[in-house]
Amino acid sequence: MKIIPFIIVLAGVYTVPAHGQGYGRFLEEVASNNLELSSSADMMAAELATLKSENNLPDPEVGFDYMWGRHDVGNKYALSVTQSFDWPGLYHARAKAAKTTSMAMASLARARCMDKMMEVEQLFIDIINTRKNLALYSESMRLLDSLMAKYSKGAANGEFTRLDVNKIRLSQLSVCRRKADIQTQLDGLVSDLQATNGGKPCAHIVDGLSDYEHRALRPEDEYLAQVERYDPQVMSSVLTRQSQEQMVKVAKMGNLPSFSIGYAYENEPDEIHNGISVSMTLPFFSNRNKVKAAKYAARAAETDIAAMMVDRNTVMRSDYEKARVLKTELDEYDEIFGNSDYLTLLKKSLDGGQMSLLDYIQEMQYYLDEMSTMLSTAYELQQVMARLNRYSLLDHIPTPDRLDTT
């Protein structure tokens, strides 16, 4: 049984239309290099190989007898070959159930891969957010450095006081400390990304993560509809239920007899005998309660699907409401900071004598605090939007060649 065709079918039927390129190519690269996903693919291949082996015929039995006669009667020997097998229709029923199970496992593998890629995308968002904060404080440091140069020169000429210079210096130290902390956070995130990328260099990925992927907030019903239609874990549970229902039929057919047929050859001193042997096993005891167990398993799988759908829809509704609130808040920030250069206006007010140096420094600190809050809001919104649009990741899941087990 080949698993690749199943995965291709799942990808074709349960793929969400892409909404822009976004982080797609980087996600595919990291997923292809991720060691955890590689190990998971190997484990799945092993499980699929084990599943296939369970429907094999038993090994044939070969026997040899040699007997010594007494009182010059002579010795004799015998050979036999025997093959046992279950009721013929049972193999087809098992194969059908195994095929459905393998499709469920393939869908579960896609769910695991999607979850890992979701972690990678969240790491991308962390990196972008950190880079944006670093750019904010770098620009603030640039303005303070320019201001320091101006006031140091002015203090030497008696235009400004040393107190003014020290005020700027204290602001520089504060911004510099915060900038260093952000740089440390970024270095840690880059290290995490490299580890997730299988230890391979990822500078080109970090360079490409300059801004968030643009995603519009669509109607809530669209997100809820995607759960049942695209969620690979839900699909895996549906296929598992189908497999369990097929296993009920397998268990019922287990009440039918199994057979053994063989060939025997016997050589005596004066005679040679050969013939066939046929036997039938009646499963009066070995199949007891198996049908009942299969029915309970099918019922449990049905309950799992219902519980999973409730959980998925609850989380989706919660994320949608959170995204709506965050988007409204971010739009309000954008009205204030999006259409004007706040720091430039502050600098003009200082140069024009409309505010004192202390007021300017306080206003700059206020600006940094509010901008940090705005960036934090944008960061939270991107995290939620990534979860709402998680099924778009199915377009970027790589298919390892070693899953092509035959």
- DSSP calls for 155-174: HHTTSS-HHHHHHHHHHHHH
Check: CB of residue 67 under 8 Å from CB of residue 76.
yes
pTM above 0.85, yes or no: no
The per-type count for the chain, helices as H runs and strands as E runs, is 11, 4
What is the C-alpha separation between 294 and 192, in angstroms, rounded?
Answer: 45
**Whole-number CA gyration radius for the chain:** 35
**Joined tokens for residue 275:** 């013939």
What is the C-alpha separation between 117 and 401, in angstroms, rounded?
Answer: 19
Check: CB of residue 98 under 8 Å from CB of residue 51.
yes
Identify the three-state secondary structure at position 11: helix
What is the C-alpha separation between 370 and 378, in angstroms, rounded?
Answer: 12
What pLDDT score was predicted for residue 75? 81
Give the number of C-alpha atoms closer than 13 A to the C-alpha of residue 118, restricted to the C-beta side: 17
Torsion of CA 144, 145, 149, 152, to 10 degrees: 60
Identify the three-state secondary structure at position 259: strand
What pLDDT score was predicted for residue 374? 92
What is the pLDDT tens value at each position of the chain, 406 positions in all?
333 333 333 344 444 444 444 677 888 888 888 888 888 777 877 877 777 777 777 778 898 888 887 777 778 888 889 888 788 888 888 888 888 888 888 888 888 888 999 999 999 999 999 999 999 999 889 988 988 898 898 888 888 888 989 988 999 999 999 999 999 999 999 999 999 999 999 999 999 998 998 888 999 999 999 988 889 989 988 898 888 888 888 888 878 888 888 888 888 777 888 888 888 877 777 677 778 888 888 888 888 888 999 999 999 999 999 999 999 999 988 887 766 677 778 888 888 888 888 888 888 888 889 899 999 999 999 999 999 999 988 887 765 554 443 4
Q: Which of 369, 368, 359 is nearest to 167 (CA)?
A: 359
List the beta strands (DSSP E) in 72-192.
76-85
Maximum Cα–Cα distance across the chain? 136
What pLDDT score was predicted for residue 340? 61
What is the C-alpha separation between 368 and 137, in angstroms, rounded?
Answer: 8
